[in-house]
Structure 1
Amino acid sequence: MLYTHATIITVNTNRDIFINGAILVRGNLIADVGKSADLIQKYPEEESYSLEGHIVIPGLISTHMHTAQTLLRGAADDLELVSWLCERIWVLQGNFTPEDGYAAARISIAEMLKTGTTCFLESMVTVSESGIRGCLGKIVMDIGSYAKDPKWAMHPGLVEDRSTSLLGALKMWEKWDGKANDRIRVWFGARTPGGVSEALYREMTALSRENAIPITMHCAEVKADREFFASLTPPQTPMSFCDNVGLLGPSTVLVHMVHLDDGDIAKLAATNTHVAHCPTSNAKLASGICRVPELLDAGVNVGLGTDGAPCNNTNDLMQEMKLAAIIHKAKSYDPTLVPAETVLEMATINGAKALGLDECIGSLEVGKKADFVAVDMRKVHLQPYFSPVSAIVYSATGGDVRMVVVDGKILVEDGKLKTMDEEEIWKEGEKRGHEIAERAGLGEKVKGRWPVIA
């Protein structure tokens, strides 16, 4: 297929943008990129698809999200992290059935595809059938609490031991890694320090190096995390702890990373460890603001993630880009910090680097996988625009996504899912979400603060 007459933001090495550009897809790869007139002349027999009035970008890459949590959208609003986790999210998730988990993954992936995300990090199901690309982090843990505080105990329905978590992850890696035409990669998804013993961390990181299995982990999200590290003997910082147990390195993505000192940032840069920035989650849970400008200045690779729906309320990475661009300007009084171009890099090529996939996705170049998104700009809230990158980051939302192609296949066309039944998915999600809240005994608490009259 030859996709023509679009404005194409390639995010290639030169950061070329083609006005009236075209992309030739053969199989699951990009065979050519350039001006429409040139490619139409070069490939006169090729079937064509006009994307006139659209901006085409590389498929967005979410470096952190929780598919299971979408059934809990809006069930834990206006709470700080520990109360949010211990009193709502862990209790609700602990009452999931396997069928709930499947429904949650389907509604999450449907939303991601419709809003332009073509690859994500975390969770464990429905990647094959939906057509999306996923790096799936299987939970690794052996302590059922947050920061070893007994007041912050996990719901029993979520607690796993070494056998079910670490060894279970290895079994899943052996079974699923590289499947679905290499759209599936299996990772270790370690719980936050305090939820994993140092011995299990060391065993996991040794297995990671031995088998080339990447690792992702929440870290330094809230002040309580930093206080936990400081309470150890001897006292440590977030990154000195991670370094001691072998977590740092180019195959690790650490999530949130809000409470870092200069030494932590230097250690991240020296070890080529990646960071997943989730500004909406950090702001909504009052966790703080990640030091992204300092991380970027130090040479740390920073990707972008939505986190879960209960602390973001969407899985829309397009909206996440806008907040990522403006939140640091407000804090620093410097409007030049984290410009739109940097944020689009975070959501595309930086995310691909974090996942170890930058040789095949993250930019629109010959030989890379055909993962791209077409945003329909023929709308009153998107016109006029002057910089295509600015229009995507500051004006567009996931609702403006018209087409999504992953691995050369059209998964969203005219804004509609082609591989999944959207109405069936949202109806099932609505039903199961309310059932979980009732099963967990939180049916009234999740309704908000104002009286609801049925």
Structure 2
Amino acid sequence: MLYSHATIVTVNPSMEIITDGAILVRNTLIADIGKTDVLSNKYPHEDVTPLEGRIIIPGLINTHMHVARTLLRVSTADDLELVSWLCGRIWVLQGNFTGEDGYSAARLSIEEIMKSGTTCFLESMFSDRYGFDGLCRAVEESGIRGCLGKIVMDIATYAKDPKWAMHPDLVEDRETSLLGAVKMWEKWDRAANDRIRVWFGARTPGGVSDALYREMTSISPEKGIPITMHCAEVAADRAFFASQSHRPMSYCSSVGLPCPSTVFVHMAHLDDSDIDMLAQTKTHVVHCPTSNAKLASGICRVPDLLKAQVNVGIGTHSAPCNNTCDLLQEMKLADVIHKAKSGNPTVVPAETVLEMATINGANALGLEKSIGSLEVEKKADFVAIGMRKVHLQPFFSPVSAIVYTATGRDVEMVVVDGKVVVADGSLTTMDVEEIWKDAQVRAKYVVQRAGLQEKVKPRWPVK
């Protein structure tokens, strides 16, 4: 198939933008890319999909998600700081999930992110309770790429404070979490035509013993299982590290975490020595600006990380602390929040943000040789954004138009592995109405089972 007459933002090493461009897809790969007239003459017998008035970008890569929490999207835990948000609401609700609820939430998340231009995501900490098989099945059925972190933990508190405890039905031990993750890796890694990768999804320090961290970090290189972990998200995390006579990265180093196959998330409370260690160890960082802002957790030092040549991606985190899984919206905040904080409008420009959401994300996932940019012999993962709309016109830079004005609602086509999974803004691989209706019913039952009906409701009177 020849996709023609589009503006193509390649994010290739030369950062080329091709006007009136075309992409030739054969099987799962990009076979050629260039000007439409050149490719049309070169491949006169190819079927053609004309995409005039669209900008094509590489498929977006969401490097931090909690897909189960999309079932708890709105009003379940608004206007709370992180620890109260977790211990009083989110963990209580998630502790009342069933495997069927986990599968429903996964499908809901995947539908949303695919329709808004994400073609690959990193799930951070999927609990055994939610049904990891169901998560993998949802990825397989949908056509998306998923790097799926199975939770690793053996301590039930947050930062070792007994007042901040997980719901008892979420607690896992070494056998269920670490060894369970290895079993899921043996069963599912490279499944679905290599679209599934299984990761370790370690809990935040304080939720994992040093011994279990060290066991995980010894298994990781041996089997090739990458690690993702929340770190230095809130002031309480920094206090925990201090209680261990450590800074964030010195503690992580003591248990073997920093390395090129580790992805740390949030990182809102770092000092210069932490940034130096991240750079030296080539460890990746994920910026989640909306979640960190809504929970008043802090702001990641992204300009300093980038200056130190730390690879930084972008994540939406979870629906209850973001309310959307739309990475295009997250990209705008990832840009403008640092301008406001620094007083410098030149920090983190639009081009850098698009790199963070594409090729940087691919680097973080170890998939940079196959996704993250539009190049010959890479996977045919791309997104067509329709620009023939009043709120998107006029524009002079396609990158600025994508980062500053487009949202997921402007996505018209998504291709993953050479297959069209979104056409005319609609998902082609799953029954979308059945997905949201099922999620709506299941969410209400979760709230009821958790006994939170009086807390999860509108604050204003409803008649």
Map of 1:91 onto structure 2: 92
Q: Give, as a single letter, the amino acid of the residue that structure 2 aligns with 1:421.
A: D
| Pairing 1:10–2:18 present | no
Q: Give, as a single letter, the amino acid of the residue that structure 2 aligns with 1:114.
A: K
Map of 1:338 onto structure 2: 348
Map of 1:318 onto structure 2: 328
Map of 1:24 onto structure 2: 24
Q: Structure 1 residue 448: deviation in Å? A: 3.2
Map of 2:221 onto structure 1: 209
| Pairing 1:415–2:425 present | yes
| Pairing 1:64–2:58 present | no
Q: Tell me how far apart the structure 2 counterparts of residues 449 and 151 of structure 1 sit (CA, whole Å).
A: 27
| Pairing 1:301–2:311 present | yes
Match of 1:261 among 260, 265, 271: 271
Q: Which runs of 5+ in 2 are unaligned?
A: 127-131
Map of 2:55 onto structure 1: 55
Map of 2:395 onto structure 1: 385
Aligned length in residues: 451
Match of 1:155 among 162, 167, 170: 167
What is the SS of the residue equivalent to 1:19? strand
What is the SS of the residue equivalent to 2:456? helix
Cα distance per residue 1:37-89 (max 9 Å; x no partner) = 10000000000001111000000000000110000001111110000000000
Q: Structure 1 residue 452: deviation in Å? A: 2.3
Q: Tell me how far apart the structure 1 counterparts of residues 25 and 270 of structure 2 sit (CA, whole Å).
A: 43
Q: Tell me how far apart the structure 2 counterparts of residues 386 and 446 of structure 1 sit (CA, whole Å).
A: 45
Cα distance per residue 1:185-209 (max 9 Å; x no partner) = 0000000001000000000000002
Map of 1:33 onto structure 2: 33
What is the SS of the residue equivalent to 1:313? coil
Q: Structure 1 residue 399: deviation in Å? A: 0.3
Map of 1:120 onto structure 2: 121
Q: Structure 1 residue 444: deviation in Å? A: 2.2
Map of 2:42 onto structure 1: 42
Match of 1:221 among 220, 225, 233: 233
Q: Tell me how far apart the structure 2 counterparts of residues 451 and 324 of structure 1 sit (CA, whole Å).
A: 35
Q: Tell me how far apart the structure 1 counterparts of residues 408 and 79 of structure 2 sit (CA, whole Å).
A: 24
Alignment of 1:263-278 (within 5 A): 263-278=273-288
Q: Tell me how far apart the structure 1 counterparts of residues 264 and 332 of structure 2 sit (CA, whole Å).
A: 22
Map of 2:381 onto structure 1: 371
What is the SS of the residue equivalent to 1:384? coil
Q: Give, as a single letter, the amino acid of the residue that structure 2 aligns with 1:84.
A: W
Q: Decide which moves more: 164-173 or 440-449.
A: 440-449
Q: Structure 1 residue 434: deviation in Å? A: 1.2
Runs of 4+ that moved beyond 3 A: none
Map of 1:139 onto structure 2: 151
Q: Structure 1 residue 435: deviation in Å? A: 1.1
Map of 1:104 onto structure 2: 105
What is the SS of the residue equivalent to 2:375? coil
Q: Give, as a single letter, the amino acid of the residue that structure 1 aligns with 2:292.
A: N
Q: Decide which moves more: 261-270 or 426-435.
A: 426-435
Q: Tell me how far apart the structure 2 counterparts of residues 187 and 385 of structure 1 sit (CA, whole Å).
A: 40
Q: Give, as a single letter, the amino acid of the residue that structure 2 aligns with 1:57.
A: I
Q: Which runs of 5+ in 1 are unaligned?
A: none
Q: Structure 1 residue 450: deviation in Å? A: 1.4
Q: Structure 1 residue 212: deviation in Å? A: 1.3
Q: Tell me how far apart the structure 2 counterparts of residues 117 and 445 of structure 1 sit (CA, whole Å).
A: 33
| Pairing 1:450–2:451 present | no
Alignment of 1:166-177 (within 5 A): 166-177=178-189
Q: Tell me how far apart the structure 1 counterparts of residues 370 and 419 of structure 2 sit (CA, whole Å).
A: 16
Q: Tell me how far apart the structure 1 counterparts of residues 78 and 42 of structure 2 sit (CA, whole Å).
A: 54
Cα distance per residue 1:258-280 (max 9 Å; x no partner) = 00000000000000000011000
What is the SS of the residue equivalent to 2:163? strand
Cα distance per residue 1:335-374 (max 9 Å; x no partner) = 0000000000000000000000000000000000000000
Q: Decide which moves more: 340-349 or 173-182.
A: 173-182
Cα distance per residue 1:123-142 (max 9 Å; x no partner) = 44111110000000000000
What is the SS of the residue equivalent to 2:65? coil
Q: Give, as a single letter, the amino acid of the residue that structure 1 aligns with 2:60.
A: L
Q: Tell me how far apart the structure 2 counterparts of residues 377 and 447 of structure 1 sit (CA, whole Å).
A: 38
What is the SS of the residue equivalent to 1:445? coil
Alignment of 1:184-195 (within 5 A): 184-195=196-207
Identity %: 74
Structure 1 length normalisation: TM-score? 0.99
Q: Tell me how far apart the structure 1 counterparts of residues 170 and 396 of structure 2 sit (CA, whole Å).
A: 49
What is the SS of the residue equivalent to 2:4? strand
Q: Give, as a single letter, the amino acid of the residue that structure 2 aligns with 1:223.
A: A
Map of 2:129 onto structure 1: none
| Pairing 1:329–2:339 present | yes
Q: Structure 1 residue 451: deviation in Å? A: 1.8
Q: Tell me how far apart the structure 1 counterparts of residues 433 and 28 of structure 2 sit (CA, whole Å).
A: 28
RMSD (Å), alpha carbons: 0.6
Structure 2 length normalisation: TM-score? 0.97
What is the SS of the residue equivalent to 1:142? coil
Cα distance per residue 1:317-339 (max 9 Å; x no partner) = 00000000000000111000000
Q: Structure 1 residue 157: deviation in Å? A: 1.3
Q: Tell me how far apart the structure 2 counterparts of residues 144 and 215 of structure 1 sit (CA, whole Å).
A: 20
Q: Tell me how far apart the structure 2 counterparts of residues 319 and 210 of structure 1 sit (CA, whole Å).
A: 38
Q: Tell me how far apart the structure 1 counterparts of residues 46 and 321 of structure 2 sit (CA, whole Å).
A: 45
Cα distance per residue 1:270-325 (max 9 Å; x no partner) = 00000011000000000010000000000100000000000000000000000000
What is the SS of the residue equivalent to 1:368? coil
Q: Structure 1 residue 446: deviation in Å? A: 1.3
Match of 1:350 among 353, 360, 367: 360
What is the SS of the residue equivalent to 1:63? strand
Q: Give, as a single letter, the amino acid of the residue that structure 1 aligns with 2:38.
A: D
Q: Tell me how far apart the structure 2 counterparts of residues 450 and 302 of structure 1 sit (CA, whole Å).
A: 40
Q: Tell me how far apart the structure 1 counterparts of residues 60 and 246 of structure 2 sit (CA, whole Å).
A: 35
Q: Give, as a single letter, the amino acid of the residue that structure 1 aligns with 2:78.
A: D
